[in-house]
Amino acid sequence: MNIAGQLPYILIAMMASLCIYAILFKSNLFKKMLAIFLLTDAVNLLYIVQGYRSGNSIPPIIPPGMDPSEFASLAVDPLAHYFVVTAVVIGLAEVATLTALTIYTYRHYGTIETRKIKELRG
């Protein structure tokens, strides 16, 4: 097994587990939010890694005059890029939603520590 070829996966696994831990166990809402976005970024990284082509790869834009089959053997994966582009936009909507809710939580309770917010019984 070539460790260099597997290293990105190991880093992504560590990053994702740390983020899931932080979302579940940290009590600060802002830290939870940051962990959610970092988790999304870890997965984005996973997509990019899986769509990468080693060697003399070119971006997935066909240069004028190049033969499509040659292009297909040179360029990186457009599908992985597409997934990342979509997820980034979706992540932005998550930021907006959670930020709005967090600000309102702060206005109502004066804190963003989930341990101190105990109106509901759960």
Partner 1 sequence: MSLKDSIIGISFVALMTAILIYAFLGYPEVGFVRPLGEFYLYNTFNFNEQGWWSASPNAVTGVLWDYRGYDTLYETMVFYVGIVAIALFFEKESSLRRTSGMTVIVRATTKLVFVFILTSAMAITIFSVKTPGGGFQGGSIMAIAYIAIIIALSRGFLPELRMDLSKAHLIKIFGLILIFSLTVIPVAYSLASGTVAYALQNQPKPWSEFGYPTFLGLYSLSGGMVIPIQVGELVHVGMGFTIMFLILTEREGKKELGGKRS
Partner 2 sequence: MNVLFFQAPILAMLLALMGSFGCIIVGLFSGRRAVEWFTGILTAVSLVLSALAVVNVFFLDEPYVYMMGGWPPPVGIPYVIDRYSAPLALVVSAIFFATMVYSVRYIERDRDVKWYYSLRFLMQAGMYGLLFSGDMFHIFVMLELMGLSAILLVPFRKEVKASVEAGIKYGIYDILAISIYYLCTAMIFGMFGTMTVAEIAAKLGGYVSPFSGGIFANTAALPVIIALIVWSFTIGSAVVPQHFWLPDAHSMAPSSISAILSGLLVQVNIAVLARILFDGFAAGSYPGNEIGLHALLILGAISSVIGAAFMLVQSDIKRLIAYSTIANLGLIAMGFGLGTIQGASASYLHIINHAFVKAALFMIAGVFIHATGSREISSLKGISKVLPGTSLLYTIGTLAAIGFPPLSMFWSKLLLLFSVLSAGGSYQYVVVPMALTIVLESIAQIRLLAVIYSGEKRSVNCRPSYPVIASVGMMIGIIVITGLMPSLLFELGGLAASDLLNIDSYIDLVLKSLNYPP
Judged by the rule CB under 8 A, the positions of this chain that interact with partner 1 are: 2, 5-6, 8-10, 12-14, 16-18, 20-21, 24-25, 49-55, 59-62, 68-69, 71-73, 75-82, 85-86, 89-90, 92-97, 100-101, 103-104
Taking CB under 8 A as the rule, does residue 110 contact partner 2?
A: no
The torsion angle over the Cα atoms of residues 69, 60, 76 and 18, rounded to 10 degrees, is -160
Rounded to a whole number, what is the largest CA-CA distance in the chain? 66
**Six-digit token string for 112:** 């963003």
Among 34, 62, 71, 109, binds partner 2 (CB under 8 A): 109
43 versus 117: smaller Cβ distance to partner 1: 43
Which residues have CB under 8 Å from 110's CB, separation 6+?
A: none
